[in-house]
Amino acid sequence: MIRINSRHAFIASGIYSLIYVFFSIYKGVLLILVQSAMEDTFVGGDTSDISITLWFLIGSVMSFSSFMFFYFLKVNDLKSQKIILTGISISWLLISIIQLFLFKDYFYYAIFTLIPIIINYLSIKNLKIEIIKQLNDKGLTKKEIHLLQLLAGIKKK
C-alpha cells in the first residue's frame, strides 16, 4: 500500500481547492469583461450579475476551504485527523457529483477531483493502521486493567 500521511492529504486538498479558486475567479472576471463589452456595443445587452456574484462566491468559499485545509495541518490527534479526512473525502465526492451535473460536456473536471479523493482514502487507511499501532504500543492503564478484572469476575487480592 502506498504510504500517504494526513499531512500530504491536507496539502493536496488545499492545492486542489486553490485551483478551483483561480478557476472561479477567472470565470467571474471573464463575465465582468463580457458584461462591460456588451454595454459598449451598439446592440447592448445584459449579462447576469447573479452569475458574476455566484462565481465570486464560489471562489471565496473555496478559498476559505483551502485555508481550512492548510490550518488542519496543525491537528496532531490521529482520530481527529481521520474524522476530518473522512469529511473532506465526502465533500470532494459531493463536489465531483455536482460537477457532473454542471459541466456535462467537461466530465474530466469531475475526474480531476477524484485525485484528492483517492489521496484522502489512502491517507485514511494509513491513519487506521497508525491508530491501531499506537493503541497496541500504549497498552492498558491500571484503571482499564481493574475494570477488565471486575468484568471478568477476578478479584485482586
Name the nearest CA neighbour of 117 among 12, 5, 7, 43: 12
Whole-number Å distance between alpha carbons of 32 and 143: 66
Residue 105 DSSP class: S
Q: How many CB atoms lie within 10 A of CB 96?
A: 18
Q: What is the pLDDT along the chain (157 residues), one digit of tens a residue?
A: 678 888 999 999 999 999 989 999 999 999 888 888 777 665 655 557 888 899 999 999 999 999 999 999 999 988 999 999 999 999 999 988 888 887 777 777 778 888 999 999 999 999 999 988 888 888 778 888 888 888 888 776 5
HSE-up (13 A, CA, CB side) for residue 16: 25
